[in-house]
Amino acid sequence: MINAIEVKNISVIYGEGTPFRKAALNGITTAFPKGEITGIIGHTGSGKSTLASLLNGLLKATSGEILLFGENIWAKPKEMTKIRSRVGLVFQYPEYQLFDETVEADIAFGPKNIGLDEEEIKNRVRLAAEFCGLSEKELKRSPFELSGGQKRRAAIAGVLAMRPEVIVLDEPAAGLDPQGREEILSGLVEYKNKYGATLIIISHSMEDIAKYADRILVMKDGEIYMQGSVEEIFVQAERLFDAKLDLPQITKLFIELKKRNLCQSTDVYTVGYAKKEIEKIIAK
């Protein structure tokens, strides 16, 4: 398997030599396989967001290196824009970055900066809007007239329009209603499948992670606490609780069912699978 991004022994230290010195990341090493969705979970202040802004070179690590398809992203600091168009980063609450007169112009901001021609830009804007579920009518409106959820979609579309190979999303669905979450996340999966892109999603929602991620990275106090497949991580409930994290609610339900000897499986992480399990129990 090819790794889209490799992180090698990265440390980030803020405020060296002041009373506010803090190590945000402490020598972490990991890799993000191409075409997979990696979910990053961790308690507030565990270094998730710092890791995110390292991956597209917005932040430079104090030590260590980051390889994008085997190439050090800091090899040519003058060509950072190129790296940033290949690794798209969607910040927390990205709707606060919207500025242009129309949603269409705002989504076109990224592609324009890369220097694409008119036709290509138009094309990409349409496609990105489609992935994010924005209609033709909404493209013509001012971004400030949209609802919160629509603004979020517009902002994410602004990054997708650059057609990045890797997309890092910091809490893309935070503060949205359940339907909005679903639509945004499944739109991203669609994009991933179409372009063979790699997704890295930071989230506090264990349900979203269980449903969408292939791999999980658990962070704690600036270090990697656990990493592995969804099954490997969620089976270690105790360790997750130690990192002040949680299991998906449906998994907790099945643990309780097992305690009462009603069901034997504890590897239930999604509602869909739970439904099948419950049907099996009823059929008995």
- Residues in contact with other proteins by CB under 8 A are 17-19, 53, 56, 58, 81, 84-85, 88-91, 94, 96-100, 109-110, 113-114, 144, 158-159, 162
Q: What is the spatial distance between Cα 112 and Cα 107, in angstroms, rounded to a whole number?
A: 9
Least Cβ distance, residue 182 to other proteins (angstroms): 24
Residues contacting 9, CB < 8 A, separation 6+: 27, 28, 29, 63, 64, 65
Least Cβ distance, residue 30 to other proteins (angstroms): 21
Which is closer to other proteins, CB of 96 or CB of 241? Answer: 96
DSSP 56: T
Which is closer to other proteins, CB of 113 or CB of 135? Answer: 113
Least Cβ distance, residue 161 to other proteins (angstroms): 9
What six digits make up the tokens of 56? 């597209």
97, burial (CB in 10 Å: exposed 0-12, middle 13-18, buried 19+): middle
Q: What is the spatial distance between Cα 262 and Cα 242, in angstroms, rounded to a whole number?
A: 27
Q: Coil, strand, or helix at residue 44? A: coil
Least Cβ distance, residue 99 to other proteins (angstroms): 4
Tell me which amino acid residue 45 is.
G
Q: What is the spatial distance between Cα 275 and Cα 284, in angstroms, rounded to a whole number?
A: 15
Least Cβ distance, residue 19 to other proteins (angstroms): 7
Which is closer to other proteins, CB of 106 or CB of 208? Answer: 106
Which is closer to other proteins, CB of 23 or CB of 58? Answer: 58
Give the CA distances from residue 267 to residues 215, 235, 252, in Å, rounded to whole numbers and listed in that order.
Answer: 15, 7, 10
Least Cβ distance, residue 226 to other proteins (angstroms): 28
